[in-house]
């Protein structure tokens, strides 16, 4: 099963993905894309680390996400990617259009070919105001395009709102259902 989990900041996306991963007792690989560029981000990363079970394998990959997914997916394994929008930010600040295009293609290929359970987490950023600078507008647009492309590759798309899950595509837990 491939699940794309979308929602706003602090909507419960990561917790939902972690609950999905912990359901069957399968081995879990957590692919994280964040880098601790400042103290606030380091604190956010620490909270996520503390919440993860110690037996989960963690792969830190800020750029080559497709390759990390390809290496981690296998039958009987749950792979969580948290999160696509941080990965997208990492790509955009590189400023290399060829790397950007290649990594997006590699991600889509890895998702298409993945075996086992794959759960990708991403922030939905297109529901707010139009950003005032060019890079922020490009980020918002690229995130929207990426979500549209990926949604077609996934069996399930879940929208998180205030800690409640709303299944947009496929079958799954009802909104508000908790473990």
Q: What is the pLDDT of residues 82-94, one digit of tens each?
A: 999 999 999 999 9
The pLDDT score that the predictor gives to residue 131 is 87
What one-character-per-residue DSSP string does 23-71 give?
Answer: SS--EEEEEE-----SHHHHHHHHHHHHHS-TTSEEEE-SS-HHHHHHH
Note the maximum CA span of the chain: 46
The pLDDT score that the predictor gives to residue 173 is 55
Low-confidence ranges of the chain (pLDDT < 50): 174-179
The pLDDT score that the predictor gives to residue 178 is 44
The pLDDT score that the predictor gives to residue 122 is 97
State whether residue 128 is helix, strand or coil.
coil
Active site (catalytic) residues:
48
Contact yes or no for 158/6 (Cβ under 8 A): yes
* CA dist 169 → 69, 92, 143, 155, 156 (Å): 22, 29, 19, 7, 5
Q: Which CATH number fits domain 2-169: 3.40.640.10, 1.20.910.10, 3.40.50.300, 3.40.50.410?
A: 3.40.50.300
The pLDDT score that the predictor gives to residue 172 is 66
Q: Give the bridge partners for 31, in sequence order.
A: 59, 81
The pLDDT score that the predictor gives to residue 49 is 87
């Amino acid at each position: 099963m491939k699940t794309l989990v979308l929602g706003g900041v602090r909507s419960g996306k990561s917790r939902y993905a972690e609950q999905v991963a912990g359901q069957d007792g399968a081995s879990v690989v957590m692919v994280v894309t964040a880098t601790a560029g400042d103290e606030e981000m380091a604190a956010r990363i620490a909270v996520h680390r503390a919440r993860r079970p110690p037996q989960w394998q963690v792969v830190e990959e800020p750029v080559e996400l497709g390759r990390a997914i390809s290496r981690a997916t296998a039958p009987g394994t749950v792979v969580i990617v948290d999160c696509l929008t941080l990965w997208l930010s990492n790509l955009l600040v590189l400023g290399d259009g060829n790397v950007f295009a290649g990594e997006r293609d590699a991600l889509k290929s890895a998702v298409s070919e993945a075996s086992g359970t794959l759960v990708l987490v991403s922030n939905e950023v297109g529901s707010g105001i139009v950003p005032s600078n060019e890079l922020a507008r490009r980020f918002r647009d690229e995130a929207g395009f990426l979500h549209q492309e990926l949604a077609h590759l996934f069996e399930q798309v879940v929208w998180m709102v205030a800690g409640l899950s709303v299944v947009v595509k496929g079958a799954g837990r009802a909104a508000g259902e908790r473990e």
